[in-house]
Amino acid sequence: MPLGYTKIEYIEGDGNQYIDTGYFFNNIATETLTLDFMRTASSTGSMLYGTRTAYKNNGYAVQFTNAGATYIQWGDKDTGLGSTAAGALNTRYTAIRMGAYYSFNGADYTVTDAVTPTQNYPLYLFCVNNGGIAGTVSAMRIYSVVITDSNNAVKFNAIPCKNSSNVIGLYDTVSGTFMENKGTGSFTAGSEVQDDIVIYTDGTVETVNVHTKNLFSSIPYKTGYYIDVSGNEVESTQYQEEYIIRQAIVQPSTTYTVSVVGAVSGYTQCIHAYDKDGNRISQITML
């Protein structure tokens, strides 16, 4: 997460909160949406997510009913999947959607003989965007939302978080956009989550650049400055100067001890990790 944001386990709505992602599919038929979620209450026609011009008009949505049925909206169709696709309340699930195809709780479903929709309105979460109006808002938790294209490139990656003002929402790491509640009331936050400093790619160890406070007692702090990822010295009232260790190798399942010396009262001591593209992926405060 970027500075100023705190990752949390989930965001939870009580049926009055929703998210406008601002997202338009480049190819609505071939992009895959993966939702990690939990329904916390049953309500008539509650939607997980969606966008449509009107009912059975350019539809892309998933709907649960209080009778335990599930409906997949695709184009001009609203297809019932029955209770086997509904799952249970207060149980965490992952639902995968690619166009007319839907996978949930170990079963796969397909909407047939439907007209591929044209998306005219941005995708909403916790409800359906019904011609620009939030419809049938759900009581549920969202743990993550990821959209990938046909080449598995990530196009949207929403992470639950709080900003520096403690506003609860989702942060899209692709666009760098913070999305907060567009409904009434406020989301409930899950527990805070600390980013791991160890980065993996397909199970292998990846080389990362690590920004850190003084790791060596021979290097003094410079109060009121820090070094950014580009190596520029920046004035700060919060941080002492950081020193860059390039290409620090971290091993899986290994604990590292970092000695920080020479701290100045009133300034935060911290460790930052950057991925190989220079994006800050972690901040660990040293107590």
| Same domain for 125 and 54 | yes
Mean residue pLDDT of the chain comes to 76
| Same domain for 49 and 117 | yes
| Same domain for 122 and 159 | yes
Which percentage of the chain shows pLDDT scores above 90?
A: 49
Q: 60: which 2 tokens? A: 């892309």
94 part of a folded domain: yes
Q: What digits encode the pLDDT tens for the residues 21-79?
A: 999 999 999 999 999 999 998 876 789 999 999 999 999 999 987 666 788 999 999 98
| Same domain for 151 and 34 | yes
Angle at Cα 272 formed by Cα 1 and Cα 266, nearest 5°?
Answer: 105
CATH of the domain at 59: 2.60.120.200
| Same domain for 250 and 125 | no
| Same domain for 246 and 134 | no
Q: What digits encode the pLDDT tens for the residues 160-204?
A: 999 999 999 999 999 999 999 999 999 999 998 854 433 333 333
pLDDT for the residue 286: 37
Chain centroid offset of residue 247 CA: 27
Chain centroid offset of residue 195 CA: 13
Residue 258: partners with Cβ closer than 8 Å, 6 or more residues away:
212, 215, 271, 286
64: closest CA among 81, 47, 82, 41?
47
Q: Which residues constitute the domain of residue 212?
A: 200-285
pLDDT for the residue 2: 76
Angle at Cα 16 formed by Cα 10 and Cα 20, nearest 5°?
Answer: 70
| Same domain for 226 and 178 | no
| Same domain for 95 and 11 | yes
Q: How many domains does the chain have?
A: 2
Question: 3-class secondary structure for 44-98?
Answer: CCEEEEEEECECCECEEEEEECCCCCEEEEEECEEEECCHHHCCCCCCEEEEEEE
239 half-sphere exposure, CB direction, 13 A CA radius: 22
Task: State pTM to two decimals.
Answer: 0.70
